[in-house]
Structure 1
Amino acid sequence: MSRVDVSAPPPAAASVQPQRRSRQRTGRALWHRAVVCTLFAILALPLVATLLYSLATEWGATVLPSGLTLKWYATLWSEPRFLAAFARSLVVCGGALVASVVLVLPAMFVIHYKFPRLDGLMNILILLPFAVPPVVSSVGLLQLFGDEPLPMVGTPWILIGCYFTIALPFIYRAIGNNLQAINLPDLMDAAHLLGASTAQAAWLVVLPNLKKGLTVALFLSFSFLIGEFVFANLLVGTTYETLQVYLNNMRNDSGHFTSAIVISYFAFVLLSTWVTARLTRDTSERQSS
């Protein structure tokens, strides 16, 4: 008489278990998609509403706009005051970012290559400006640079200096992480063994490896700086009106017009981010090929 293995599951149960696991995986996947879609809808709803309001001819007592028009965008982009404020914001943000890269990049190279123990101290010093609220910093800067010998209040130079301190942590951490990832001392030693000088190794070997992280940090800092309001409003105001100050001054104007300003600002930041992603991807593809 043959023995029956009672420990093995019956064929029906064995076929049910994979089906049950498949249903569980499908259920979890649907749940994850539902959560992601819900969060995306919550985040996108204010932006979509602002976009519709900027395109509406009138939107008052009705659920949807009574009509759509591009009049508000045409008015905005033909407004000399807006164009001047937008150009000033680009100049100030660009100047702060250039100063950050020019000053921080050589310092980071020297610290990570020659004095790696100073990295912890530099991290603390870089974050110190964030410990002071912008309003408090603005009051101190008004007292320091409001009169002689350096009357810079109301000029773009004081904004560039403030924005430099804001962008510094982003630039510093991006460069620092990249330098740690590429193992800078070993890379420099290998370049020296091949006959390159320190300057040649830094320019031809190290800098290309920092390009991707530095580009991302620059555009992240730019998107943050172009939306800064406190320093711009308190230190320069309408004397050197930037984009956020202009938006604040126009808040009592037509809501359709201010919505067009917000959407234009968001579209510019989104376009800059997309261009950065494309440039970074193209650079990576060329290096891999």
Structure 2
Amino acid sequence: MNIRKAGFAPRTFMLMLMVYLLLPLLATGIYAFAQDWQNTLLPQAWTLNWFGEMFKDIRFLEALWTSLYLCLISVVLSLAVMLPAVFVITIYFPRWESFMKVIVVLPYAVPGVVAAVGLIRTYSSGLFDIAGTAYLLVGAYFVVILPYIYQGIRNSLLTVNAVELLHAAELLGARRRTAFMNVILPNIWPGVIVSTLLSFSVLFGEFVLTNMLVGGHIQTIQVYLYQRMGESGHLASAIAISYFLFILVLSMVLMKLGKKMGGGVKG
């Protein structure tokens, strides 16, 4: 099969796009390692003091851990609820899919500020007085990542033709629960991993909703970064680069895990 090579114009466009996207990150990285950078093209001296100051601050480690476990709890909870729900709707009630699509895209229709104000007013009194707590934040996170989790699971089920796989497993004598756990789930797991990674990245970088809901009570990594931006640009750059590297390493680990699981299923 003949494969057409990209011409000069597409390659140039892709190169310019990569430079445009990576240049701010490069400048932030240089500034994080610069000891003094004012009137020269490149820093006059390099240092690791900003990273040392960052890791010595117990607030940074606490904020990182808080963001990590809040995002993990939200993603795991969303998967536990949405995975069986999307499976049942896609396999047994396909007519409900249009209704589900409307439900899961509703978070896009409500701005974060409006959603935060509504949640605070609703849950600041009465039986569920959970304003300013992690419970409210996890619930808000759950709603935020609904579109990513739903669409990822649904696309994976349609890609592997889950209906025919389930029927074939049942014809061979497998129960529905066994067929789901041993046949359907391993085949859609790579897609679930990608949805999980995307959802975790979105939540880890969420600031507006987090700051308005629990900014004065719970300090996440984004709230911590916002609070320290006014102290030193070098320190803020070091925090941003560390945040980027953490997400990058986590993404690589999850993608590698997804490929291994996908390879195991094919084999």
For the Cα contact (< 8 Å) 1:238–1:245, is it kept in 2? no
Q: Please say if 1:261 is aligned against 2:239.
A: yes
Deviations along 1:207-250, whole A, 9 cap, x unmatched? 10110000000001111111101111111113111111111111
Tell me the equivalent position of 1:97: 75
SS class of match (2:217): helix
Q: TM-score if structure 1 supplies the norm length?
A: 0.88
Alignment match, 1:155: 133
Matched, 1:185 2:160: no
Partner of 2:142: 164
Matched, 1:62 2:40: yes
Contact 1:82 1:243 in 2 (8 A): yes
| Alpha-carbon distance, 1:168 to partner | 0.8
Secondary structure in structure 2 of the residue aligned to 1:150: coil
Q: Could you tell me how far 1:110 is from its partner in structure 2?
A: 1.1
What one-letter code is carried by the residue in structure 2 that aligns with 1:208? P
Q: Distance in 2 between matches of 1:279 and 1:120?
A: 32
Equivalent residue number for residue 45 of structure 1: 23
User: Shift in Å at residue 142 of structure 1?
Assistant: 0.9
Task: State the match for 1:214 in structure 2.
Answer: 192
Q: 1:145 aligned to 123, 126, 129, which one?
A: 123
Matched, 1:176 2:143: no
Contact 2:63/2:224 (8 A) holds in 1: yes
Q: Identity percentage over the alignment?
A: 41
d(CA) in 1 for partners of 2:168, 2:116: 48
Partner residue in 2 for 1:273: 251
Between the aligned partners of 1:284 and 1:197, the Cα distance in structure 2 is 23
The aligned amino acid for 2:169 is A
For 1:112, the aligned partner's letter is T
RMSD between aligned alpha carbons? 1.4
TM-score (norm 2): 0.95
The match for 2:93 among 111, 115, 127 is 115
Partner letter of residue 151 of structure 1? D
Cα distance between partner residues in 1 of 2:240 and 2:92: 46
> Which range moved further: 218-227 or 272-281?
272-281
> Separation in 1 of the partners of 2:85 and 2:20?
43
CA distance in 1, matches of 2:86, 2:188: 12
Larger Rg: 1 or 2? 1
User: Which residue matches 1:71?
Assistant: 49
Residue-by-residue CA offset, 1:97-137 (whole Å, 9 max, x unaligned): 01110111111111112111001100101111221111111
Instruction: Measure the CA separation in 1 of the matches of 2:20 and 2:116.
Output: 35
Which digits, 9 at most, give the CA deviation of each residue in 1:46-101, with x for residues without a partner? 10000000000111122210111111111111210011111111111111101110
- In the TM superposition, residue 31 of structure 1 has moved relative to its aligned partner by 2.9
* Matched residue type, 2:76: V
Cα contact 2:63–2:219 (8 A) shared by 1: yes
Distance 1:40 1:74 in 2: 30
* Stretches of structure 2 lacking an aligned partner (at least 5 in a row): none
| Kept in 2: contact 1:73–1:257 (CA 8 A) | yes
Q: Which runs of no fewer than 5 residues in structure 1 stay unpaired? A: 1-24
Q: Deviations over 1:1-31 (max 9, x none)?
A: xxxxxxxxxxxxxxxxxxxxxxxx99x7333
Larger mean Cα displacement after TM superposition, 152-161 or 28-37: 28-37
Flag as ranges the 4+ runs of structure 1 deviating above 6 A: none
SS in 2 for 1:57: strand
2:229 aligned partner:
251
Query: Is 1:229–1:244's contact at 8 Å kept on the other side of the alignment?
Result: yes
- In 2, the alpha carbon distance for the partners of 1:284 and 1:104 equals 21
Amino acid at match of 2:259: R
Is contact 1:76-1:261 (8 Å) kept? yes
Question: Is 1:51–1:260's contact at 8 Å kept on the other side of the alignment?
Answer: yes
C-alpha distance in 2, partners of 1:31/1:178? 34
CA distance in 2, matches of 1:157, 1:48: 37
